[in-house]
Amino acid sequence: MIKLKQYWQALQKIRLTKDEKKAMYQNIAFVMAKNPISNEPEKRSFFGRLFFVKRPFAFATLIIFLVAFSGGSISYAATDAQPGDLLYPVKVNMNEEVVSALQFTPKGKSNWEMERVRRRLQEVEKLAEEGKLTPELEAKITQRLETHANKVQQFITKFELDGDLSHAENTTTNLKNVFDQHQVILEKLAENGGPIGHPKKPPLDEVLKIIKENGEKLPPLPFKKDMQKDDTTLSNPPQSSENTVGAENQETTLSEKPQNAQEFAQNHLVGFGQKVQILNDFVAANEDKDPAQIEKLKSTLSDFSDLYTKAQEKVAAGEYAVAMGLFQQAQASFKDAKVIMQEVAPLP
């Protein structure tokens, strides 16, 4: 008769193989790289801390109760309050928090946070136009703006993790549009200054910086439907040994999954080829423009062509990880080249 101990030993043999564990980690690491931990700890409002935001229903009920008994007059009066006004804290910490607590779905919450981003930007613009924006007010609004923008980004991550890619994509697009629209207005205000006769230019550097930083943090569009296909590009396996993940280099892992990696590398190669073509055409069409800039572009094109040839060789040899490294280098230099191209002649 087999003893129970032998059964346990047999069951313990059911485990992930070393390769499976590593491949799975690659997929998880891709998601981790795409959705990094924010360095900023989440800041809770005074009311949020007081009433434990984790219990939004209780919080909302209490606020509604208070507002109802105070006749709602303060709350109503605060609706149009601007930063610096006495009732502005009521507007952002009470009115807006109530609306926030009454959003019961992640989609509703993300839309509301988006609206708050828009409101903060409109407030900055209004104050700048009226010449009332001080560095202190800018800092306060910027802080709130960043909090709301971070929340929207967190919802994008959530939608993505939940597989709701269409909503993740819509939210990303909307946030990007909000940033783009207001960036144009704010840049004009920063350049032209406030009202006529107001000597000082409004302090808008911080707001513009936040817009730029948050815009850069947004995930690239469109979202990939199948994350496993490009699971290897951003992975960052830990250093460990034996049956833990990350014991081998990326190249080994990629060669163990030839179909995905090959397809992925070949897709990149096509894109790479297109970029070489774009650069080539641009240089040919703008040879008469700024010689120094054109010279820089020619140099980039030469490096780029070398990288392309190398990447082609590596893909043909099945060394996809090395090819991926070359693609990343090429991507970085193309980004620089695009800046120069914009300076030489506006891109279509």
Return residues touching another protein (CB under 8 A). 1-2, 4, 6-8, 10-17, 20-21, 24-25, 27-28, 31-32, 35-38, 41-42, 154, 157-158, 161, 238, 240, 244-245
Which region holds residue 131: left if phi is over 0, alpha if psi is between -120 and 50, else beta?
left
Question: 3 vs 335, which CB is nearer to another protein?
Answer: 3
Query: 169: buried, middle or exposed (CB in 10 Å: 19+, 13-18, 0-12)?
Result: middle
CA atoms within 13 A on the CB side of 320: 23
Give the whole-angstrom CA distance, residue 224 versus residue 154: 18
Question: 157 vs 312, which CB is nearer to another protein?
Answer: 157
Whole-number Cα distances in Å, 56 to 36, 71, 159: 26, 22, 21
Query: 168: buried, middle or exposed (CB in 10 Å: 19+, 13-18, 0-12)?
Result: buried
Q: How far is the CB of 74 from another protein (least distance, A)?
A: 32
Structure tokens at 84: 């610096």
∠ Cα 245 250 253 (to 5°) = 70
Give the H or E element holding residue 231: none
Four-residue CA torsion sign, 148, 153, 158, 162 = positive
Assess contact for 66 and 56: CB atoms under 8 A: no
CA atoms within 13 A on the CB side of 339: 6
Q: How far is the CB of 262 from another protein (least distance, A)?
A: 21
Nearest to 267 by CA among 300, 218, 212, 226: 226
Q: How far is the CB of 228 from another protein (least distance, A)?
A: 9
Question: 256 vs 295, which CB is nearer to another protein?
Answer: 256
Q: How far is the CB of 289 from another protein (least distance, A)?
A: 45
Question: 33 vs 68, which CB is nearer to another protein?
Answer: 33
Question: 113 vs 125, which CB is nearer to another protein?
Answer: 113
Q: How far is the CB of 217 from another protein (least distance, A)?
A: 13
Question: 10 vs 316, which CB is nearer to another protein?
Answer: 10
Q: How far is the CB of 287 from another protein (least distance, A)?
A: 49
Question: 158 vs 224, which CB is nearer to another protein?
Answer: 158
Q: How far is the CB of 139 from another protein (least distance, A)?
A: 23
Nearest to 67 by CA among 98, 36, 46: 98
Question: 10 vs 332, which CB is nearer to another protein?
Answer: 10
Q: How far is the CB of 16 from another protein (least distance, A)?
A: 5
